[in-house]
Amino acid sequence: MRGYAPILLLLLICIATPPLVWGLARLLRPKAPNANKYMVYECGITPVTQAREKFSVRYYLVAVMFLIFDVETVFLMPWAIQIKELALFGLVEMLFFLFLLLFGYGYIWAKGALTWE
């Protein structure tokens, strides 16, 4: 078992577990549906609108900012483990990149994209 095969084994066991317990529970549990149980839970009030509506745009903004910064983190990784070899030259090169990024960070901060009210 070389390489990543053990992870596949663990993955298969993990994927097999939920159907197993669901299957066992299916044999044991009762089934007595009624209209009130099937109502959307809103603390007992009859829901008036659908749940899937327009949502605050800030969440999408967070998603976009996450993409930018996470790609940056991934970009830093090969540099980080080579830092001893790259030495000062590598650091200065990376600081150019980080400067651009931090400039953007300062910009979104100034624009108020990071402020929640």
Contacting residue, 21, 93, 97, 107, with other proteins by CB under 8 A: 21
Check the CA dihedral 52-57-58-61 and report its sign.
positive
Contacting residue, 44, 46, 52, 54, with other proteins by CB under 8 A: 52
Q: Please name the residue that has the structure tokens 């809103």.
A: 42
Minimum distance from CB of 13 to other proteins (Å)? 6
Minimum distance from CB of 1 to other proteins (Å)? 4
57 touches other proteins by CB under 8 A: no
- Go through 75-114 and write b for each residue having 16 or more CB atoms within 10 A of its CB, e for each that does not: eeeeeeeeeeeeeeeeeeebeeeeeeeeeebeeeeeeeee
116 touches other proteins by CB under 8 A: yes
d(CA 87, CA 103): 24
Question: Which residues of this chain interact with other proteins, rule CB under 8 A?
Answer: 1-7, 9-11, 13-15, 17-18, 21-22, 24-26, 28-33, 37-43, 47, 50-52, 55, 58-59, 62-63, 65-66, 69-70, 73, 76-77, 80-84, 87-88, 90-91, 94-95, 98, 102, 105, 109, 114-117
